[in-house]
Amino acid sequence: MAQARSIDRGVAMALVAMGLSVFILANDFTALNVALPAIEKAFGTDISTVQWVINAYALVFGMLIVAGGRLADLLGRRRAFFIGTTIFVAMSLLGGAAQNEYWLLAARAAMGVGAALLWPAVLGMTFALLPGRAGLAGGLILGAAGIGQSIGPISGGVLTEYLSWRWTLFLNLPIGALAMLVTWRAVHQPRERSDEERIDYAGIAALSLGLLALLLALDQGVEWGWSDWRIITLLALAATFVAIFPFIERRLGASALVPKDVIANRPFAAACVAIALVSVAFITSLLYLPQFLQKILGYSPVHAGLAMLPVTLAFATLSFVAGPLYDRLGPKVVVTAGAAAIAGGAFLLAFLREGSGYTRLVPGMIVLGVGFGLFYSSATTAGVTALDPSRSSLAGGIAYMFQIAGGAVGLGVSTTVFTSLSERKLDSEVGTGLTDAQSDAAHGILAGTQSGQRVLQEFPGTGRELVAFVREAFVIGFNGAMRLDAALAFAGVAVAALFVGGALRRGESGRRT
């Protein structure tokens, strides 16, 4: 209470602005997941395309967040905040007005640029607003993020069902404008410019282009065929860009996107690898669970959002418990337990059937949420405290980059598995009853696309039979994707158990490199 009384009105207003900014970033990750079937229907596309609504944003955000932190230092956090928020809000408006899926995907990618500037600026300003109170500052930011992620599925469902999926993006406008107004009036921090380091544009470009080429290959591999020259070219480009990335980093030294002294720290590197492996289940489950709820269980968008509460509430609740457990048990135990819960939750969801009711999903969702809450803050803290305190901001940005980029690539792989298995199952059931074009369009039946409805009318048999085939194919693909996610998360468990926290005694792990 003494801490709360010592915060004056101006600081409190500034913290509200920072909280609103974090809220729209976190809310944006989960609100649109519930809206994806509506977007699929609006543009007559399929899940392999609409997953880029999430992936385009996540990939750009993850790749540029370290550069965003450097730019915030160069331009000043306040200026970076206004630039980032303006880009984020303007692209939200353009995305909400999109007339086709490619327009929307371009806007979402541009939103990632704004978010990458906004997030580190908000972190820096929040810690500067509360000097000497890092725990309180971090708790406020994580609390706002948790609220945004928890409310996201519900707000996305309500807006999609009663207004339009477009309002999940339009909602960012008033909140972002209010955050900028309050920041302009209440936050007046001096510019802290550093001239010692420059931005690693070459490293950012190499890693981003490599991951983009890989994701495009995964996205189109099933449709074009894995032996197609375009797929081979994309995979070759991905391998080339990723291969030259270490050489670029070695040449730049301290200015590298991932400096050598940072990534050479084994406990930090282990935490980043574990985060990347586990984040596949995080992003994939948040995309596919709403799809399952709406397409297989027949839930409306708002009911699907409410049905996600076991995940989001468990996530938010365990996030508050993770800190005390980390202090008492140490990083290895808590991070490993969190990763194991995520792997177990994904495994529980990997054996659903078409007739599985909602109660069959609840245990897996709760275990997933518990894992998310225990794992992310603990793994990030374990990684950051493995380095010298002067590297904490950079380390936090790199860890978040591994979370978002690892999840984005993993979602691309999971979607490839989903598409391959579901199309193979549908083809085996329907046989020659559909042309290749009709078979591709048939997957839109569950989303209510116009092309899917045409296939339903043209199918040589009862439409009910085809719907049953498509539903079964969706479940087969969902199970395959979740099994892959569980396997990768179990690999994350092994990394955490063997390497996270190192072999140091509790209390020493935060200062030895």
Percent of the chain with pLDDT over 90: 24
Question: Could you read off the pLDDT of 61-117 as tens digits, one per residue?
Answer: 877 877 787 777 677 778 888 999 999 999 999 999 999 988 999 999 999 899 888
Please name which of 111, 10, 31, 15 lies closest in space to residue 64, comparing C-alpha atoms. Answer: 111
Backbone angles phi and psi of 226, in degrees to 5: -70, -15
Question: Could you read off the pLDDT of 287-305 as tens digits, one per residue?
Answer: 899 989 998 998 999 999 8
pLDDT over 70 (residue 432): no
Percent of the chain with pLDDT over 70: 84
SS3 387: coil
Whether 258 and 398 have beta carbons less than 8 Å apart is answered as: yes
Candidate from 71-75, 258-262, 366-370 with smallest mean pLDDT = 71-75
Q: 261-513: same fold as 1-184?
A: yes
Q: What's the whole-number mean pLDDT along residues 1-9?
A: 52
Tokens of 456: 């339903």
Let me know if 8 is exposed, middle or buried by CB neighbors in 10 A (0-12, 13-18, 19+). exposed
Q: Mention every residue, 6+ apart, whose C-beta is less than 8 A from residue 192.
A: 73, 76, 77
Top-tier CATH class for 261-513: mainly alpha
pTM of the predicted protein model: 0.81
pLDDT over 70 (residue 431): no
d(CA 34, CA 476): 21
Domain ranges of the chain: 1-184, 201-256, 261-513
Which pairs count as long-range contacts for 70-73, CB under 8 Å and 24+ apart, including other chains? 70/197, 70/198, 70/199, 71/117, 71/199, 72/117, 72/120, 72/121, 72/124, 73/124, 73/192, 73/193, 73/194
Amino acid 358: pLDDT? 92
Q: Mention every residue, 6+ apart, whose C-beta is less than 8 A from residue 211.
A: 59, 63, 238, 242, 405, 408, 409
What is the average pLDDT score of the chain?
Answer: 81
Identify the band that residue 333 occupies on the pLDDT scale cut at 50, 70 and 90. Answer: very high
The amino acid occupying position 504 is L
Between 448 and 31, whose confidence is greater?
Answer: 31
d(CA 471, CA 143): 38
d(CA 80, CA 125): 11
CATH assignment of 1-184, among 3.60.15.10, 3.90.550.10, 1.20.1250.20, 1.20.120.1200: 1.20.1250.20
Question: Could you read off the pLDDT of 314-326 as tens digits, one per residue?
Answer: 887 887 787 788 8
Q: What's the whole-number mean pLDDT along residues 266-276?
A: 91
Identify the band that residue 143 occupies on the pLDDT scale cut at 50, 70 and 90. Answer: low
